[in-house]
Chains A and B, each alone.
Chain A
Amino acid sequence: SQQGEEDPQALSIQEGENATMNCSYKTSINNLQWYRQNSGRGLVHLILIRSNEREKHSGRLRVTLDTSKKSSSLLITASRAADTASYFCATDGGNKLVFGAGTILRVKS
């Protein structure tokens, strides 16, 4: 399976700190995407990084992709209480997106 696996499963930090989540996968991909889900709601797309890209930024988000290690990381800088959510990586191997089980991030104020 090419399923992405996030690490850690849960993360608790203080407001203002940085949060880093990692995603590993098993097969070659076209792109890798990160999504956020607030409690009990639908997912919201955060960022897409293509297989030929190594790093991408969007506001306080920084995503890296290492295709040789089949891994990606999502860094949220200067976290806020509103960043409390579940974060999922999704890998596009060509015929569908495959989502991991997610990292639950809690930002304490």
Chain B
Amino acid sequence: DVKVTQSSRYLVKRTGEKVFLECVQDMDHENMFWYRQDPGLGLRLIYFSYDVKMKEKGDIPEGYSVSREKKERFSLILESASTNQTSMYLCASSTRQRGGSYNEQFFGPGTRLTVL
């Protein structure tokens, strides 16, 4: 069974703090993703990575950075947390077919981050 784990289920931080969200997958997937989910907006892609040390901006990268030093681990960093970054953060991983189309994504349980 594919397992994607996230470091925290709930997190409360103060404005201006540096926040690290960690994600680990155990199925040797090449691709990893960070999304945020807000009511009525669905999932929005923040960053993704298709290989170690590789990263690509998603739709809403501003205010975030990522790190992928090992294949199984993908970290999301909020350099200086702000209240508008209060959200549910979801990590996912997947393989990719030859020709480029994505297979199913496996999601972690999510981290509900509150920035005060």
- By secondary structure, the A interface counts as strand
A48-B104, A94-B101, A100-B42 as given contacts; A42 in contact with B109, CB under 8 Å: yes
Instruction: Determine whether the beta carbon of B43 is less than 8 Å from that of A42.
Output: no
Please tell me the number of chain A residues within 8 Å of chain B, measured between CB atoms: 25
Q: For the complex, would chain B's binding face be called helix, strand, loop or mixed by DSSP majority?
A: strand
Instruction: State whether the Cβ of B12 lies closer than 8 Å to any Cβ in chain A.
Output: no
Judge whether B102 and A40 touch: CB under 8 Å. no
A43 to B88, CA, bound (A): 12
Residue of A92, A98, A101 near B101 (CB, 8 A) is: A92
**Could you pull out 23 A-B pairs where Cβ atoms are within 8 angstroms?**
A30-B99, A30-B102, A31-B101, A33-B105, A40-B88, A42-B90, A42-B107, A42-B109, A43-B43, A43-B90, A43-B105, A44-B107, A45-B105, A48-B103, A88-B42, A94-B101, A95-B100, A97-B33, A97-B102, A98-B45, A99-B42, A101-B41, A101-B42
